[in-house]
Amino acid sequence: MTENCFPDRENHKTNEQTTAYITSSQARAENESGSWISYRNQENVKTYLARHPEIVDFLTTAYPSLVRIFGNSVEIVLEVLHFPERNASDELVGWIQSSDEVEIGLQKLEQFEEAWFLDHMAKIDHRFNFNIETR
């Protein structure tokens, strides 16, 4: 898999079906110029998304709700976490970048979960989760 695709901010606002492609070498630069997705250990994330392509659609569908709750400048950092206590299972986490106080960020995360995530999480079957990361 040489590319991952997520709509950039401008395309998502004007046409949710328009897709901008972010290559692994461009991920951080693209994020600074308008995309809302970046990666930690990009190769692990790309491999995980190749095994679970439904997550790309899930994230794209989540974007409007994320914007509604976290604001137009919402940014998500994707990272694969390893859980040896779960028989070496992996999970992709979308770290919602927040400059809010921790408690406010957690309240927004709870609001997002109640407004959107809980109704859609069956589509990704515990292979992906959101969390807050304060800056």
- Per the structure, the count of domains in the chain is 1
Q: Which residues pair with 38 in a beta bridge?
A: 77
- The pTM of the full predicted model, rounded to 2 decimals, is 0.75
| Interval 79-133: pLDDT, tens | 999 877 767 688 999 999 999 999 999 999 999 999 999 999 999 988 899 999 9
- Picking from 60, 57, 58, 81, the residue whose alpha carbon sits closest to that of residue 131 is 81
Whether 9 maps to a domain, the answer reads no
| 96: in domain | yes
Domain that holds residue 126: 36-134
Domain-located, residue 55: yes
Is residue 19 situated within a structural domain? Answer: no
Residue of 72 and 10 predicted with greater confidence: 72
Does a structural domain hold residue 47? yes
Would 7 be classed as within a structural domain? no
Q: What is the pLDDT of residue 29?
A: 33
Give the domain CATH number at 78. 3.30.70
